[in-house]
Each structure stands twice: as C-alpha cells, then as structure tokens.
C-alpha cells in the first residue's frame, strides 16, 4: 500500500518535529528546508532551557534534529517553496524541481531577523553589520561591538560577544531591558558590557570605501539629540519577522498585523489538509519548546485527518 505523503516547509524545531512524528506514524515525509537547517537554533550560541538538556550549542541541536529525522527516513529537499496551490490536491511549486503533490502539508516557516531600516545597515551588512553573534562575533576579537535591542536575543548576543570583544555596548530604545532574569543578571554582572538606554540607532557609519568596515552607530536620544558611538560592529537583535506570504497567497490562511498566520493551538487552518506550526503562527510565547510542541500537535492532527478519510 502506498504511504500517505506529508510535506513540511521549514526545517526549524517545529518543522523537523512534525517530520519526526509524521515519519514515526508511517508517512512518507519530505522537508523543504530552503538550504537551512535548525531555524533560529542554528543562530543560537547556547541552549540551556530545553528540558532534559541542560546545555547544548545551537548548531549541535540543529544537527541532532536533522540526524534523528533522517534516521526515520525523512527526506530533506534543499529548495525554497515558491507557491502553494490548494485547489484540487495540495501542490507545492519550487524553483528547482517544479510541482510537488502532497496529502497533507505542515508549514513551519519560522521567522527572519527584523532589520533596523536605517542608512548604512544594508550597505555595511557583512562588513560589521550582523544579525548573529555566534556566526560573526569571532571577527571582532578584542574590538568594540554594539548590540541593538533589549530582549533575550540581545542579552544572549551581548554575553557571547563579551567573551570575545574588549567592549560591548547594548543600545536599547526603552529604560529597562526585558528578558529572562538569569540572562539579564549575567549581563549586569559583566564588567565589559555597557548599556545605553532610551536610544535608537538612526544610522550605521563606516569607512569611506567599499572594503571598509563599520566605524560606529549614530544614536538618537528621546530628546532628539544625536551622538555617534564608536564601534567596529553592530549586532542587530530587534526580534524576528515571519515570512508567511507564500502561505497567505494560497488563500487558506489569514495573517495578523505583524504577519503571523492566525491559527490556534490545534495548528489547523481553513483547509483540513494544511497545518501551520512554530514561530510563524500567532502565539504568546515563541521558544524552542513551544515550536517543538506545535510540530508534534500539527503532525498528530494531520495524521488524525488522514485516518478520518479511511
Ligand atoms: P523580542 O523578545 O521580540 O525582542 C526584540 C527587542 O527588539 C525588544 O527589546 C524590542 O523593543 C526591540 N525592537 C523591536 N523592534 C524594534 C525596532 N524596529 N527598532 C528598535 N528596537 C526594536 O525578540 P528576541 O529577543 O529576538 O526574542 C524572540 C523570541 O525568542 C522571544 O520570545 C524570546 O523570549 C525568545 N528567545 C529566548 C531565549 C532564551 O530563552 N534564552 C533566547 C533568545 C530568544 P521593545 O522592548 O521596546 O519592544
């Protein structure tokens, strides 16, 4: 008997968990990973809040997810899905291999780094402007780095960079950092981390040649005054933005004002064959453990749907 097919879009914790649950239930599972495994965990230096795992590096966690899924026969397809058609069968279009039909779909697009949108950010990307301290921090050993943002990611980035850089300056638009107490206390304890509150970055400046790097960040205080902070790098950590347009265009979901797919804890959409899980859907908390939970729920509900057809 032919196996039912499950297609998963996105290879972060939500997508790969859905794939693992699907494969263990006997589905033929393909994950469209867009060339990137692990989602945000791949950018995370240290994971210390996943139950049962007191410490693991982000890339190691991502690798383990993939290995576990592959052992169960999950196929990873290194392509981006460009459109989803839910007219007759559920069909995905990719640039490389064309159309791909599936019985059920779990979309786990995750989210991408939010940009500041100020002058210099795009021009100096890769030359001192970065969205990942673990990826690029080592380039700034012994130097000064600005971290922009006031949440958990900013705190994590600042802590990571404080082990590498001489000085780290957190720039935050409000007067009190928000995030987990354990992370914030560690930030406050580091002597080489300075915090500049009530300030926004309005420009990133760099050397006046195409090969030159960042030389500083222009910040604007609440009273409108501006000053330039000298720095060799600016790490932007101002949250994430979901990339749900492809799914929205399929007509089976609606997005909220921030671009998240409106879906409840069941991960169901208006089409019984299509589920949405992880950080790309509306939810109060976005953590690895909540993404993993979504992946399992979406897969189990997809399996229930398939069983209901027999
Ligand atoms: P976040 O919690 O959404 O925080 C984003 C930060 O950037 C906030 O301080 C926000 O300011 C600021 N911000 C947003 N838009 C901005 C803009 N346009 N200009 C300037 N500043 C802006 O994002 P996150 O820290 O990346 O975390 C994402 C999720 O992952 C959260 O749920 C977080 O708890 C979780 N996470 C958890 C851990 C952990 O548990 N160890 C580690 C990393 C991430 P306001 O405060 O003024 O809104």
- Lowest mean pLDDT segment, chosen from 6-20, 43-57, 156-170: 43-57
Q: Is the CB–ligand 1 distance for residue 198 below 6 Å? A: no
pLDDT reported for residue 67? 98
Percentage of the chain beyond pLDDT 70 is: 100
The closest alpha carbon to 240, from 161, 168, 132, belongs to: 132
What mean pLDDT value characterizes the chain?
A: 95
Q: For ligand 1, atom 13, name the residue with the nearest CA.
A: 238
> How many angstroms from the chain centroid is the CA of residue 256?
18
Q: Is residue 197's pLDDT more than 90? A: yes
Q: Is residue 124's pLDDT more than 80? A: yes
Confidence of residue 6 (pLDDT cuts 50, 70, 90): very high
CA 154, CA 239: separation in Å to the nearest integer? 9
Q: Is 64 exposed, middle or buried (0-12, 13-18, 19+ CB in 10 A)?
A: middle
Q: Is the CB–ligand 1 distance for residue 239 below 6 Å? A: yes
pLDDT in tens, 142-187: 999 999 999 999 999 999 999 999 999 999 999 999 999 999 999 9
CA 49, CA 291: separation in Å to the nearest integer? 13
pLDDT reported for residue 42? 87
Catalytic positions are 132, 135-136
For residue 68, what are the contacts with CB-CB under 8 A and spacing of at least 6?
16, 20
Confidence of residue 43 (pLDDT cuts 50, 70, 90): confident
Radius of gyration of the chain from its Cα atoms, rounded to whole angstroms: 21
pLDDT in tens, 203-231: 999 997 777 899 999 999 999 999 999 99
237 Cα to the center of ligand 1, angstroms = 7
Count of C-beta atoms within a 10 Å radius of residue 208? 7
Q: Is residue 53's pLDDT more than 80? A: yes
Q: What is the pTM of this model?
A: 0.82
CA 295, CA 277: separation in Å to the nearest integer? 6
Asked whether the beta carbons of 206 and 228 are under 8 A apart, the reply is: no
């Amino acid at each position: 008997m032919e196996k039912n097919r499950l297609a998963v879009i996105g290879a972060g914790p939500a997508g790969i968990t859905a794939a693992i649950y699907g494969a263990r239930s006997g589905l033929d599972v393909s994950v469209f990973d867009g060339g990137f495994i692990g989602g945000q965990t791949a950018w995370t230096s240290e994971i210390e809040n996943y139950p049962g795992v007191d410490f693991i590096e982000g890339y190691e966690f991502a690798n383990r997810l993939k290995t576990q899924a592959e052992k169960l026969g999950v196929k990873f397809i290194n392509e981006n899905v460009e459109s989803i058609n839910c007219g007759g069968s559920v069909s995905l279009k990719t640039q490389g291999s064309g159309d791909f039909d599936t019985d059920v779909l779990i979309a786990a697009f995750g989210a991408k780094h939010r940009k500041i949108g100020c002058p210099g950010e795009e021009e100096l990307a890769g030359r001192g402007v970065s969205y990942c301290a673990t990826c690029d921090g080592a380039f700034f050993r012994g130097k000064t780095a600005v971290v922009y943002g006031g949440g958990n990611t900013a705190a994590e980035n600042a802590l990571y960079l404080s082990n590498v850089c001489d000085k780290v300056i957190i720039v935050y638009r409000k007067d009190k950092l928000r995030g987990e107490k354990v992370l914030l206390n560690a930030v406050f304890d580091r002597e080489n981390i300075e915090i500049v509150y009530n300030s926004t970055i309005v420009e990133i400046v760099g050397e006046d040649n195409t090969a030159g790097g960042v030389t500083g960040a222009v910040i604007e205080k609440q009273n409108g005054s501006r000053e330039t902070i000298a720095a060799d790098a600016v790490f932007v950590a101002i949250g994430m933005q979901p990339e749900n347009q492809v799914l929205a265009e399929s007509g089976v979901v609606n997005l909220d004002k921030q671009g998240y797919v409106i879906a409840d804890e069941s991960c169901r959409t208006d089409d019984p064959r299509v589920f949405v899980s992880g950080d790309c859907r509306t939810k109060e908390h976005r953590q690895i453990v909540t993404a993993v939970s979504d992946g399992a729920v979406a897969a189990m509900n997809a399996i229930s749907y398939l069983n209901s057809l027999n």
